[in-house]
């Protein structure tokens, strides 16, 4: 896997139901969309019609929440088959999911739970990522999650764990800047140290989102604007990784599409200021 194997998509937003009509009718000038894979793993009806319309006009990336790559259950073949079929339908620029487990014993918690950071778990997860990549016949990006608990058994830091798995599995990294910020507060580590330790060649995408402050901990809620401290961390990441496709996630208290556009625009402005480059909006200008 090489960074140059992946296109630079620019600055996009997550495709959410609240905005379907606006996007299909008005074709807003946004570089790209990220879809939640599971929302479109259905037999038919409106979601697939919307997806077809969006894919016809914009680059799309598939982002999943249910792969459960860190579970000790066998990989779910039914899930992978449907994921592969969806990928064949929308030909995403890439597919991503989270470095976590979401269930065990055939049951699903519908949450992104952290793993103990040990060599044994590194080997387990890396082998499963390779299995998924072989099955999908596409590279996978794994994303760091926000976490609220850490394991006594851990023998390495989260950033060592993430980097080691990506190297061993030969996969990409979706670096969620807000998740780093949230987990840094919750576990008292330095967010910049995390970013500086991630191998540059593996990072293909950034996530930006808002979180909520519960006093004793921060919660990754995706229901607020991106906080200034997270923008600062994003700037640090742009300095380290250079041009990297960035995406704004907003899943609750979803604002008007223009607010998401403006947030993606801010990510672009920070990127341009730091790199001194105006990323050529090649895809959009071709479409226009």
Partner 1 sequence: MPSDLNWTERLLYRLITAPSGVAEGLAQEKSFAPNALAHVIAGDDRLSAEERVDIYANMYFYRILDVLKEDFPATLAMLGDARFHNLVTGYLIEYPPEHFSIAYAGRRLADFIESHPMREEFPFLADLARMERALIDIFHAADATPLDAEAMRAIAPAEWPALKLMRHPATEILALQWNVATVLGAIDRDEKPSPPARKQLSMLLWRSRNRVSYREIDGAERDELEAIAAGCTFAEICEMIASAAGEENPAAAINQRLEAWLRDGILVRG
Q: Give the binding range for partner 1 (CB under 8 A) out of 132-140, 194-202, 214-222, 272-280.
A: 214-222
Check residue 71 for interaction with partner 1 (CB under 8 A): yes
Query: In this structure, what are the phi and psi dihedrals at residue 14, rounded to the nearest 5 degrees?
Result: -75, 135
Binding partner 1 (rule: CB under 8 A), the pick from 104, 136, 254, 274 is 104
Cβ atoms of residues 41 and 69 within 8 Å: no
Closest CA to 34 of 51, 17, 10, 15: 15
Check residue 157 for interaction with partner 1 (CB under 8 A): no
For 217-251, give one letter per residue: b (16+ CB within 10 A) or e.
bbebbbbebbbeebbebbbbbbeebeebbbbbbbe
Closer by beta carbon to partner 1, 18 or else 258: 18
Closer by beta carbon to partner 1, 150 or else 235: 150
Distance CA 155, CA 75 (A): 25
Cβ atoms of residues 158 and 125 within 8 Å: no
Distance CA 95, CA 207 (A): 14
For the bound state, the minimum distance from the C-beta of residue 83 to partner 1, rounded and expressed in Å, comes to: 9
For the bound state, the minimum distance from the C-beta of residue 123 to partner 1, rounded and expressed in Å, comes to: 8
Which tokens belong to 164? 């080691």
Check residue 88 for interaction with partner 1 (CB under 8 A): no
Give the Å distances, CA to CA, from 149 to 38, 114, 158, 218.
26, 7, 12, 12
For the bound state, the minimum distance from the C-beta of residue 67 to partner 1, rounded and expressed in Å, comes to: 8
Cβ atoms of residues 115 and 156 within 8 Å: no
For the bound state, the minimum distance from the C-beta of residue 111 to partner 1, rounded and expressed in Å, comes to: 6
Check residue 55 for interaction with partner 1 (CB under 8 A): no
Per-residue binding letters, 15-44, with partner 1 (x by CB under 8 A): -----------------------xx-xxxx
Closer by beta carbon to partner 1, 149 or else 276: 149
Binding partner 1 (rule: CB under 8 A), the pick from 2, 134, 188, 278 is 188
Binding partner 1 (rule: CB under 8 A), the pick from 1, 7, 27, 79 is 79
Closer by beta carbon to partner 1, 79 or else 231: 79
Size of the site for partner 1 (CB under 8 A): 45
Closer by beta carbon to partner 1, 2 or else 77: 77
Neighbours of 281 (CB within 10 A): 15
Which residues are 130's β-sheet partners? none
Q: Give the binding range for partner 1 (CB under 8 A) out of 117-125, 132-140, 156-164, 165-173.
A: 117-125
Binding partner 1 (rule: CB under 8 A), the pick from 76, 84, 130, 168 is 76
Helix (H) or strand (E) holding 104: strand 101-104
Give the Å distances, CA to CA, from 226 to 12, 33, 49, 97.
14, 18, 31, 21
Residues that bind partner 1 (CB under 8 A): 38-39, 41-49, 66, 68, 70-72, 76, 78-79, 101, 103-111, 113, 115-116, 120-121, 124, 148-153, 188, 216-217, 219
């Amino acid at each position: 896997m090489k960074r140059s194997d992946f296109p630079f998509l620019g600055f996009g937003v997550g495709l959410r139901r609240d905005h379907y009509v606006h996007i299909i009718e008005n074709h807003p000038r946004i570089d790209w969309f990220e879809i939640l894979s599971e929302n479109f793993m259905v037999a038919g009806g409106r979601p697939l019609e919307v997806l077809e319309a969006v894919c016809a006009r914009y680059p799309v990336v598939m982002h999943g929440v249910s792969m459960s790559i860190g579970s000790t259950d066998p990989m779910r073949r039914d899930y992978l088959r449907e994921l592969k079929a969806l990928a064949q339908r929308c030909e995403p620029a890439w597919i991503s999911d989270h470095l976590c487990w979401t269930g065990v014993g055939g049951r699903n918690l519908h949450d992104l739970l952290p793993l103990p950071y040990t060599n044994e778990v590194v080997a387990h997860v890396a082998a499963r990522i390779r299995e998924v990549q072989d099955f999908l016949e596409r590279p996978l990006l794994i994303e760091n999650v926000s976490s609220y608990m850490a394991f006594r058994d851990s023998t390495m830091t989260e950033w060592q764990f993430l980097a080691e798995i990506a190297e061993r599995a030969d996969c990409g990294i979706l670096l969620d800047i807000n998740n780093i910020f949230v987990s840094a507060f919750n576990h008292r580590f330095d967010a910049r140290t995390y970013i500086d330790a991630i191998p540059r060649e593996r990072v293909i995408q950034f996530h930006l989102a808002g979180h909520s402050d519960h006093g004793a901990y921060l919660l990754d809620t995706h229901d607020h604007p991106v906080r200034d401290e997270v923008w600062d961390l994003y700037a640090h990441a742009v300095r380290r990784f250079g041009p990297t496709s960035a995406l704004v996630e907003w899943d609750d208290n979803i604002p008007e599409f223009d607010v998401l556009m403006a947030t993606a625009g801010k990510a672009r402005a920070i990127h341009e200021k730091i790199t001194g480059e105006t990323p050529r909006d090649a895809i959009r200008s071709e479409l226009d």
